[in-house]
Every structure is written in C-alpha cells, then in structure tokens.
Amino acid sequence: MKPFEYVKPNTLAEAISALDAGGEDARALSGGTDLIVQMRAGRNVVGNVIDVKGVTETNVISHSKKDGLTIGSSVPCYRIYNDEGIKKTYAGLVDSVSIIGGTGIQGRASLGGNLCNAAPSGDGIQSLIILGAVANVEGPNGARQIATEDFCTAPGQNALNPGELLVSLSVPEPESNAGAHYLRFIPRNEMDIAVVGVGASVVLDAEKKSIVSARISLASVAPTPLFVEAAGDALKGTEIASDSVEKAAIFAQEAARPIDDMRGTADYRLHLVGVLTKRALKVAIERAENQ
C-alpha cells in the first residue's frame, strides 16, 4: 500500500475538519473492507485516511416508534443483525446485512460504507432504498440529507462533496401492514457478489387485501443501484391476489440496463430481474400480512 497519513478524530467536528483539510486526497475509514482493498490495489489513491470510528455519532444505533431507526455510518453489519429490535421491525434490512461477505467481513463492514462505496451490486444499498432511508451528511458548510436512492451517482462515486462525511442513516419506522425483503442470486450460497439483487417493500391496506404503496430497487443491472419507481407505482392500489406482481416484474425488467460480464450475460440478468422481483414481492407481501 502507498504510504498515507492516518488520523483518528474523537469528535464529529474534528473529523469534518480533517476531511476538509485533506480535500480530494482524504477518505473516511470505517470497516475498511472496501477502502483498504482499493488502496492496496492502487484503485483508490488516498493521502489522508481519517478513521471515523472514534466519532460517537457514527457508532449509534437508536430505534424508536417516533423517530424510526438511526444507524451510525460506522456500525458494522453484525451489530445490525444481532439487534433484536431491528430484526423484528426491519427484516428487509437484516436480509442484506447478513449476506454481505462472510463472518469476518461482517465483523468490520459497515452499512454506511456499503452506501459510500456505491457499487451497483451493494446489497445493503437496496434495502436502504426500499425502506426509504435518508443519508445524514455533515460537512464544512453544515448538515444536509440525501435520499439513499440519489446517493450513488456512478460506479464507486457518491453524492458527497470533498470534506463531507456520511454520519448516519435514518430509516423511517415502517407503517403498519408493511413488509420488505431483499434477495440476490449468486452461484454459491454465500460470500459472493450479486449477479442480480432485488429489494422490494410494500404497505398493505388495513384489510391486507390491496397494496397502498411499494418500492423496488435492483442491484447489478445498471451503473448504480437502481430505484424503479414505475414498478412500485404499478402495484399501487392493486389487489395482492391480482396479476400486479407480474406487471411490476415487467416494469423492473424494462428499467434494468444490465451488461455482460464474468458473472452473467445481460439476457440472463434480465431473466433474473423478473424472477427475483416476483420472489422479493411475494416475501415482502407475506411479511406485511403477518404484521
């Protein structure tokens, strides 16, 4: 690895000022499971590594009915899936954080890092998008919020300006009768990158007969994680017993812009988008029915 300066600030203000001073040359370090790999491979040349794990705000997990869920950007996957409250209320998030890498990766890798790394295949990102999560960002010019579906701008690129830090993620408390699910296709059972991943969330009406709203997001079929608003809209107001799930799957396929690569051909990926969208919706609806 190329030499760099390492600092570990203890407060948010110190972290922002270190990131600001470093400018384009600085990167925030949380779990390091993407950043260190990229720095070692020379794909990411960093002069200043700012370890933000000492900042209280990046380590928080807080959950209440009123404010929903807040997860600090450095919180590693295992803390999320071991949290009983999150498991009960945010199953669609636990789906993805428990399949990112293996146990050793989950001990370090953070959900915030998964979002900042902005890989089209990022499993955690799809869960954030379907749950309507918002990224809480602070920088030298103050705080702002970015919808997670707008956060990734290109492969490996995100909406943060130099000097800005993703501090935490806010996930709204699900409405009653809501359910969500994320699943992916990989050739083995674990430890692989999604050939295609699909996240789906639904809110059902009080009778649990029809869909009030739905969100669908796709992994590995576009240069960024892909929020498919049209697929969710196709489900709005339809009965769960109808063929609307099939229609939503077609909208998802129409939105997908996959490429051929070593993990699969574009055609194969389109097929998978259809299959996985239906499966993700089926489980999301079941979870909503069981609320």
The answer to whether 23 contacts another protein (rule: CB under 8 A) is: no
**Shortest Å, Cβ 123 to another protein:** 15
Question: In this structure, what token pair is assigned to residue 47?
Answer: 């002069």
Both tokens assigned to 129: 């998008």
Binding mask 68-87 for another protein (x = CB under 8 A): --------x-x---------
Structure tokens at 93: 């998030």
Maximal CA-CA distance, the chain: 61
Figure out which of the listed residues 61, 105, 146, 147 binds another protein, where binding follows CB under 8 A: 105
Question: From the CB of 2, what's the least distance to another protein, in Å?
Answer: 7
> How far apart are CB 206 and another protein at their closest, in Å?
38
Q: Which residues contact 184 (CB under 8 A, 6 or more apart)?
A: 99, 123, 194, 195, 196, 197, 198, 219, 220, 276
CB of 182 closer than 8 Å to CB of 280: yes
Total binding residues toward another protein, as defined by CB under 8 A: 31
- 137 in helix, strand or coil? strand
Q: Which of 49, 52, 202, 281 binds another protein (CB under 8 A)?
A: 49
Cα 5 from Cα 7, distance rounded (Å): 7
Residue 42 touches another protein, criterion: CB under 8 A: no
Q: How far apart are the first and last CA of the chain?
A: 49
Rounded-to-integer distance, Cα 169 and Cα 140, Å: 19
Of 37 and 275, the one with the shorter C-beta distance to another protein is: 37
Binder of another protein out of 2, 43, 65, 66 (CB under 8 A): 2
3-state secondary structure of 10: coil
Q: What is the DSSP string of 203-225?
A: EE-TTSSBEEEEEEEEESSSSS-
Which is nearer to another protein, 51 or 173 (by Cβ)? 51
17 touches 7 (CB < 8 A)? no
Strand 211-219 and strand 48-51: the pairing is unpaired
11 part of the interface to another protein, by CB under 8 A:
no
Q: Is 103 in the site for another protein (CB under 8 A)?
A: yes
Nearest CA among 161, 134, 117 for reference residue 19: 161
The yes or no reply on residue 262 touching another protein (CB under 8 A) is no
Assess 25 for contact with another protein (CB under 8 A).
no
Told to check if 5 binds another protein by CB under 8 A, we report: yes
Are 197 and 124 contacting, i.e. CB atoms less than 8 angstroms apart? no
Q: Using CB under 8 A, which of the segments 12-20, 86-94, 189-197, 255-263 binds another protein? A: 189-197
Considering only 5-13, 154-162, 208-216, 256-264, which stretch makes contact with another protein by CB under 8 A? 5-13
Q: Which is nearer to another protein, 64 or 103 (CB)?
A: 103
Nearest to 94 by CA among 64, 71, 119: 71
- Min separation Cβ 79 and another protein, Å: 9
Contacting residues toward another protein, per CB under 8 A: 1-6, 8, 29, 31-33, 36-37, 39-41, 49, 51, 53, 76, 78, 101-105, 107-108, 189-191
